[in-house]
Structure 1
Amino acid sequence: MTTILRPPITARPITARLTERAGRVLDFLWSGWAGLAGLFLLAAVWQAGHEAYGPFILTSPQDTIAAVWRLTGDPSAWTVAGVTLQRAVTGFALVSVIGIALGLIAGYSPATMRLVQPLITVLMGVPPIAWIVLAMIWFGGSDATVRMVIVVSALPVVFLGAAQGIATRDRGLDRMAEAFGAGPLRRFLTVGLRQTTTTLFPALVLALGTSFKVAVMAELLANAGGIGGALANARINLDIATALAWVLIAVGLLITVEYTLVHPVKGEIERWRRAAQPWGVKR
């Protein structure tokens, strides 16, 4: 009986790992030029709408940016934006933890998936404004109202993303890892969980956008302060520039959270995808 001697696995130097990480960060920043081009195109369309309908209907991008700059100099505006940010981020965190956990369980259990599917359909069919009305009755104009509406509105998306990712995993890779002696937990972390990224991260991005939209909507209707409350005041005063400035601030907060939280985590988890790509080829 022959014994196969395997070479010892040596860890890479810390400098090599840091260089690789820095390269991924620079590549991620360089890819932002396409996003900036899309934003400039949106600004051009916005300017055309301003010239067509006038400042009373749609203020110019320059006037709106001037209003944003004026708000950034007001300490109370930072407090208002911070309230919406913490509500949206905490709601998104609850959605991510609960949705991923339940989705992974359902993905490994087809019977559970069939049982929960009608409930997910019901949750997705109820409009967020109906949940806002119910939450206002239950919790009043508090943080609980905003977070509850965020969780109910965005949870089905994350749940389905995690469940579909696990249900459609390559079971051959799982059996191969088992043949090499990997235990259930290691197979889940290194094989099963990584295959969910194709459906999970788009679901997380969608859930993050839903969290900010629903948070502002709930604040506006429930008079719960935050950016929604500021939009209500701008509506009363017919201040289009200030209203659009708060919209830009909300979108800016969303983009900041997405590109500093979701996309870096996605890049770290999906390093194995880049290893299979030829040099210079981007899919």
Structure 2
Amino acid sequence: MKFIFKILKDFPKYLFSGLTSIASIFLFIALWDMANQLYGTLVLPSPKETFITLYELLNDEIIYGEIKLTIYRAFYGFFLSLIIGTILGVLAGFFVTASIMSRPIVTILVGMPPIAWIVLAMIWFGISDKTVIFTVVIASFPIIFVGSLQGTRTLDSDLKEMAQSFNLPFKMKLFDIYFPHIFSYVFPAWVSALGMSWKIIVMAELLSSNSGIGAQLAIARSLLDTPTALALVIIMIGSLLFIEYIILEPIKREVESWRD
């Protein structure tokens, strides 16, 4: 509980540190408006038109159901890959043979394009939630696995020997030595995998589902409704930024405070 209260107490500081990011967003919107004037509304609607469409979408109860469905699929697949990738990565990091054997498998998983996995998943599972979730898991797993593996493999051997020579309790070694170091590698991998999950889920829904934000994007594409397509993209980006900077970033700073 003390950990949660400290995060809430320091929340204004975290929010202030994101002001530079907000400034870059406004710069992006200005460039966006210039591009609209150059290429026209059909190619790139103006920010004003897009945000009006966004407002209309958010006043439609149906879109909230589609957003919830996409979030459910994305997080279900992400948490599956998080659990499996973290556990297997840490285990592989402690055993050299497992680490060497896993390299070609990870290379194949990283090198295979997500679109190929979507096609295979459609053959295996058909048009269903399983296709979308499987694609998220298979695309996110290598990122988390490699982060966990590197975090475990790069543990300072001298530090481990010191802990053993002083007969430190297992709890102290786990939370004061092993966990902070491994987490410094694992957490960025989680954030990267979350971003990957969000991108993959929309592509998978667009190609293999008739529900979710991706399916709504497919409808907007077929109708050449660019403002709606951009409004849906803003919803996806806003959701991801909220999760990363409002939820994950404060936790990361608190857990990594030992670096200071």
CA distance in 2, matches of 1:150, 1:66: 31
Structure 2: gaps (5+ residues) = none
After TM superposition, where is structure 1 displaced by more than 4 Å over at least 4 residues in a row? 17-23
CA distance in 1, matches of 2:14, 2:246: 11
Match status 1:249 vs 2:225: no
Structure 1 residues 196 and 60: alpha-carbon distance in aligned structure 2, compared to 1, 3 A threshold? same
For these two proteins, the number of residue pairs brought into alignment is 259
Aligned-residue identity in percent: 39
Match status 1:217 vs 2:203: yes
Give the letter aligned to residue 15 of structure 2: L
Contact kept in structure 2, 1:162 and 1:200, CA below 8 Å: yes
Contact kept in structure 1, 2:7 and 2:250, CA below 8 Å: no
18, 40, 50: which one pairs with 1:54? Answer: 40
Q: CA deviation at 1:260?
A: 3.8
Structure 1: gaps (5+ residues) = 1-13, 277-283
Contact kept in structure 1, 2:93 and 2:153, CA below 8 Å: yes
Contact kept in structure 2, 1:85 and 1:253, CA below 8 Å: no
SS in 2 for 1:82: helix
Q: CA deviation at 1:255?
A: 1.3
Match status 1:35 vs 2:21: yes
Which residue does 1:10 correspond to in 2?
none
Match status 1:112 vs 2:127: no
Which residue does 2:150 correspond to in 1?
164
**Bigger relative CO (Cα 8 Å, ≥ 6 apart):** 2
Q: Which has the higher helix share?
A: 2
Give the letter aligned to residue 230 of structure 1: Q
Structure 1 residues 269 and 64: alpha-carbon distance in aligned structure 2, compared to 1, 3 A threshold? same
CA distance in 2, matches of 1:127, 1:106: 24
Report the aligned-residue RMSD.
Answer: 1.8
Q: Which of structures 1 and 2 has the bigger CA Rg?
A: 1
Contact kept in structure 1, 2:184 and 2:256, CA below 8 Å: no
Match status 1:236 vs 2:249: no
Which residue does 2:77 correspond to in 1?
91
TM-score (norm 2): 0.93
CA distance in 2, matches of 1:82, 1:173: 46
Give the letter aligned to residue 178 of structure 1: Q
Give the letter aligned to residue 151 of structure 2: G
Which residue does 2:138 correspond to in 1?
152
